[in-house]
A and B are shown apart, each in its own frame.
Chain A
Amino acid sequence: MLTLLTSENIARFLFGLLTSLQLAFVLVVVGGVLGVVLAGLRSLPIRPVQWFVSLFVLYHRNVPLLVQILFWYFAMPQLFPAPILRFVNDHNPEFLLAGAALSFAFGAYVSEDLRSGFRALPKVQYEASRAIGLSFLQSFVYILLPQAVRNSMPALINQLLLFFKGTSLASVVGVAELTHVASDLNSSTLLTFETFFVATVLYLFISLLIMGAGSFVSRRMAMRT
Chain B
Amino acid sequence: MIDILQTYWLDLLIGGYPNGPLGGLAMTMIIAVTSIVLAFPLGVLLALANLSERRWMSRSSGAVITFVRGVPLLMFIFWIYFALPVVTGLSVSGSVTLIVALVIFESAYISQIVKAGILALPRGQREAAESLSMTPFQVNMKIILPQAIFNMTPSLISQLSSAVKDTSLGYIINATEITFATAQINSILLTKPLEIFGVLAIVFFVICASLTGLANILERRLGRSQSIALANVR
- Chain A residues within 8 Å of B, Cβ to Cβ: 58-59, 61-68, 70-71, 74-75, 78-79, 161, 165-169, 171-172, 179, 182-183, 186, 192-193, 196, 199-200, 203-204, 207-208, 211
Asked, given contacts A161-B69, A165-B71, A199-B75, whether A66 binds B205 with beta carbons under 8 Å apart, the answer is: no
By the criterion CB–CB under 8 Å, are B194 and A78 in contact? yes
New A-B contacts (4) at CB < 8 Å, excluding given A62-B209, A193-B83, A196-B78: A59-B205, A70-B200, A168-B74, A179-B78
A161 to B208, CA, bound (A): 22
By the criterion CB–CB under 8 Å, are A75 and B194 in contact? yes
| Segment touching A, from B8-16, B168-176, B224-232 | B168-176
A46 to B83, CA, bound (A): 54
Asked, given contacts A66-B169, A165-B73, whether A196 binds B197 with beta carbons under 8 Å apart, the answer is: no
What are 30 inter-chain pairs, A to B, with CB distance below 8 A? Answer: A58-B205, A61-B212, A62-B161, A62-B208, A63-B201, A63-B205, A64-B165, A64-B169, A64-B204, A66-B171, A67-B201, A67-B204, A68-B201, A70-B183, A70-B200, A71-B200, A75-B194, A75-B197, A166-B72, A169-B169, A179-B72, A179-B75, A186-B82, A196-B75, A196-B78, A203-B70, A203-B71, A203-B72, A211-B66, A211-B70
Near A by CB (< 8 A), chain B positions 63-100 give 66-67, 69-75, 78-79, 82-83
A164 to B229, CA, bound (A): 42
A214 to B200, CA, bound (A): 35
Residues of B within 8 A of A199 (CB): 75
Judge whether B223 is part of the interface by a CB distance below 8 angstroms.
no
Q: B202-233 vs A: 1/0 string, CB under 8 Å?
A: 00110011001000000000000000000000
A58 to B212, CA, bound (A): 10
Residues of A within 8 A of B75 (CB): 168, 179, 196, 199-200, 203
Nearest A residue to B178, CB-CB: A67
Residues of B within 8 A of A211 (CB): 66, 69-70
A146 to chain B, nearest CB (A): 29
By the criterion CB–CB under 8 Å, are A70 and B72 in contact? no
By the criterion CB–CB under 8 Å, are A183 and B183 in contact? no
How many residues of chain B are within 8 Å of chain A by beta carbon?
34
Judge whether B179 is part of the interface by a CB distance below 8 angstroms.
yes
**How many residue pairs, one in A and one in B, have C-beta atoms under 8 Å apart?**
106
A4 to chain B, nearest CB (A): 15
Interface core residue of B69, B171, B208 (most chain A CB under 10 Å): B69
Nearest B residue to A207, CB-CB: B70
Residues of A within 8 A of B82 (CB): 186, 192-193, 196
Nearest A residue to B168, CB-CB: A64
A59 to B201, CA, bound (A): 8
Judge whether B153 is part of the interface by a CB distance below 8 angstroms.
no
Residues of A within 8 A of B66 (CB): 208, 211
Complex partner residue of B179 from A66, A79, A179, A183, CB under 8 angstroms:
A66
Judge whether B58 is part of the interface by a CB distance below 8 angstroms.
no
Residues of A within 8 A of B197 (CB): 67, 70-71, 74-75
Residues of A within 8 A of B72 (CB): 165-169, 179, 203
Nearest B residue to A199, CB-CB: B75
Asked, given contacts A67-B200, A172-B172, whether A62 binds B205 with beta carbons under 8 Å apart, the answer is: yes
Complex partner residue of A196 from B70, B79, B168, B193, CB under 8 angstroms:
B79
A91 to chain B, nearest CB (A): 21
By the criterion CB–CB under 8 Å, are B70 and A204 in contact? yes
Judge whether B140 is part of the interface by a CB distance below 8 angstroms.
no
A185 to B45, CA, bound (A): 37
Residues of B within 8 A of A182 (CB): 78
Complex partner residue of B212 from A62, A78, A179, CB under 8 angstroms:
A62
Residues of A within 8 A of B70 (CB): 161, 165, 203-204, 207-208, 211
B197 to chain A, nearest CB (A): 5
